Amino acid sequence: MEIEIGILQDKTIRKQAALYLQVTGLFLLRYGLALMVLLFGLQKWTKAEAEAIQPWVSHSPLMSWLYHVTSVQGASIAIGAVELAIAAMIFARRWLPVIASVGSGMGIVMFLITISFLVTTPKIDPGSVPFLMKDIFLLGVAIWSTGESLTGLAPSIDRNVCHELSPSLTQQ
């Protein structure tokens, strides 16, 4: 009988640990994505970043039009404003899942565009390739975030998981 209780306790501990790791990982994926997009957006307001992205944007069939309607700095600020909006929408997931799905969907488009720079930019600086390649991972996170946000289930799932992990957390 004691062995059976010990086995059940081990299974419960493993299940709790697995749930905790999943919740923590998903939290870090979503809010890490939002934080990175926020930081990218803030950088676009600097002269150095505007000049750094100029070769990519100017050769992109999807983005080069920006330089016909504004300056290099103005285009960078416009891109940054969109990135800040995307980050804010993703951060809003807990309260506004539909808005978060729109923001995450916009993130998908953004990362597809930045990945396309690898093909559209002639004589790309070899040091830029790893920087742009990280967007493949971020694209995957944005795709997951869009799908998960569309379910609209995270707040109830979060409460259930928290209750399983520690019933006292949900009794407040």
User: In this structure, are residues 37 and 107 in contact, taking their beta carbons and an 8 Å threshold?
Assistant: yes
The domain containing residue 145 runs over which residues? 2-160
Q: How far apart are CA 31 and CA 17, in angstroms?
A: 21
Q: What pLDDT is stored for residue 168 in this prediction?
A: 45
Query: What sign does the CA torsion over 9, 158, 108, 68 have?
Result: negative
The answer to the question of residue 172 being in a domain is: no
The answer to the question of residue 169 being in a domain is: no
8-25: average pLDDT: 86
The answer to the question of residue 171 being in a domain is: no
Indicate if the pLDDT at residue 73 is higher than 90: yes
41-54: average pLDDT: 97
pTM of the complete model beyond 0.75: yes
The answer to the question of residue 168 being in a domain is: no
Q: What pLDDT is stored for residue 144 in this prediction?
A: 95
Q: How far apart are CA 71 and CA 86, in angstroms?
A: 23
The answer to the question of residue 38 being in a domain is: yes
Helices (H), 44-96: 47-59, 66-69, 72-91
Question: At 13, which amino acid appears?
Answer: I
Report the share of the chain in percent with pLDDT over 70: 84
How is residue 152 written in tokens?
A: 């609209």
Residues in contact with 36: Cβ distance below 8 Å, sequence separation at least 6, in sequence order: 138
User: In this structure, are residues 34 and 87 in contact, taking their beta carbons and an 8 Å threshold?
Assistant: yes
Q: How far apart are CA 44 and CA 31, in angstroms?
A: 20
The answer to the question of residue 27 being in a domain is: yes
The answer to the question of residue 165 being in a domain is: no
118-145: average pLDDT: 91
If DSSP codes are grouped into helix, strand and coil, which group holds residue 129?
Answer: helix
The answer to the question of residue 167 being in a domain is: no
Query: Most distant CA pair in the chain: distance in Å?
Result: 78
Query: What sign does the CA torsion over 151, 83, 113, 126 have?
Result: negative
How many domains does the structure of the chain reveal? 1
pLDDT band at residue 169 under the 50/70/90 scheme:
very low
